[in-house]
């Protein structure tokens, strides 16, 4: 059995009276890809924000590599190996693609020179090397999503949180990104992936967690989750179940 890299235990995040995430519990094994799905507003991004330290959990604990990291801020979590992308991509717009990745890696590599050397390797890997000098603002959506992944990889994470990196891409671009994620998985990096496109979740995930109104309504293998009546009802309403 692989070691557990991430333990999400009874995690709650409220905004005022709203339970955006409500008692979510699962473990992620080293090297595992876990899909995180659910209708709009289900709490997926909020859970990412809690795991990556942007919000402390209102209740519950997060353990990463055996250490309680609940409430630890993002820059510290990034330094110990939790990388993430943002659903709304956030490149530094005035800077080139290469510069974006250099900056993302600076706190890991210390010097600009070391970070630049590493940034080139990442851009080769993510297929952006030929656009390295382009302004990040001028990339296509597919390019910006790849840049998000590149920036997250710059810190050499052992756990990568991907928030809708395929959404909005055409089928060819989507396939390329799925291939990229499989290559990342091939390095043994554990991945938690949010995606609305079922084909992506079904192709990539070892297991899937389903949220609905903040609550975890299913956890299991993709094929089992896809035919779970609670999940079908959450997606398609009363009549479908
Ligand atoms: N900073 C915030 N302040 C107040 N409410 C918030 C905040 N962030 C999220 N919410 C609310 O929490 C709930 C969960 O939102 P979240 O963005 O996590 O959903 P999601 O599953 O990522 O949805 P989507 O699929 O649309 O990206 C929603 O009702 C949302 O309006
Ligand atoms: Mg979201």
Residue 93 pLDDT:
79
Residues 107, 79: contact at Cβ < 8 Å? Answer: yes
Question: What's the CATH code of the domain at 212?
Answer: 3.40.50.300
Residue nearest to atom 6 of ligand 1 (CA): 15
Residue 241 pLDDT:
47
User: Per the structure, how many domains does the chain have?
Assistant: 1
- Ligand 1 probe mutation, 11, 17, 18, most atoms within 8 A of CB: 18
User: Does residue 112 lie within any of the structural domains?
Assistant: no
pLDDT digits (tens, 9 = 90+) for 203-217: 899 999 999 999 999
Residues 11, 62: contact at Cβ < 8 Å? Answer: yes
* Ordered DSSP codes for 4-31: EEEEEEEEEEEETTEEEEEEEEEEEETT
User: Does residue 208 lie within any of the structural domains?
Assistant: yes
Measuring from each residue's beta carbon to the nearest atom of ligand 1, which residues come in under 6 Å? 15, 18, 20, 38, 40-46, 87
pLDDT digits (tens, 9 = 90+) for 167-213: 999 999 999 999 999 999 999 999 999 998 888 998 899 999 999 99
User: Does residue 148 lie within any of the structural domains?
Assistant: no
The alpha carbons of the chain give a radius of gyration, in whole angstroms, of 18
Residue nearest to atom 28 of ligand 1 (CA): 41
User: Does residue 149 lie within any of the structural domains?
Assistant: no
Beta carbons within 10 angstroms of residue 7's beta carbon? 17
Q: Domain residues for 53?
A: 4-91+157-240
Q: Which atom of ligand 1 is nearest to the CA of 196?
A: 25
Sign, Cα dihedral of 63, 189, 145, 77: positive
Q: Which atom of ligand 1 is nearest to the CA of 47?
A: 18
Ligand 2 center to 211 CA (angstroms): 11
The arithmetic mean of pLDDT across residues 109-117, rounded, is 94
């Amino acid at each position: 059995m692989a070691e557990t890299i991430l333990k999400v235990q009874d995690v709650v995040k409220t905004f005022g009276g709203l339970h955006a995430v409500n008692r979510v519990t699962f473990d992620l094994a080293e090297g595992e890809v876990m899909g995180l799905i659910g209708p709009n507003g289900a709490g997926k991004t909020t859970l990412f924000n809690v795991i990556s330290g942007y919000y402390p959990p209102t209740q519950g604990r997060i353990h990463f590599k055996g250490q309680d990291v609940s409430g630890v801020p993002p820059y510290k979590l990034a330094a110990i190996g939790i990388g993430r992308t943002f659903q709304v991509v956030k490149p530094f717009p005035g800077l080139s693609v290469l510069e974006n990745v250099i900056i993302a890696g600076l706190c890991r590599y210390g010097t600009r020179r070391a970070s630049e050397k590493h940034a080139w390797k990442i851009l080769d890997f993510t297929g952006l090397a030929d656009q390295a000098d382009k302004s990040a603002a001028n990339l296509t959506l597919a390019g910006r999503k790849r840049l998000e992944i590149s920036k997250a990889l710059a810190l050499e994470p052992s756990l990568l949180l991907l928030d809708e990196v395929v959404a909005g891409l055409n089928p060819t671009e989507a396939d390329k990104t799925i291939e990229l994620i499989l290559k990342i998985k091939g390095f043994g990096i554990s991945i938690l992936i949010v995606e609305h496109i079922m084909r992506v979740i079904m192709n990539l995930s070892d297991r899937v967690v389903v949220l609905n109104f903040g609550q975890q309504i299913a956890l299991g293998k993709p094929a089992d989750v896809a035919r779970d009546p609670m999940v079908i009802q959450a997606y398609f309403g009363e009549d479908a179940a």
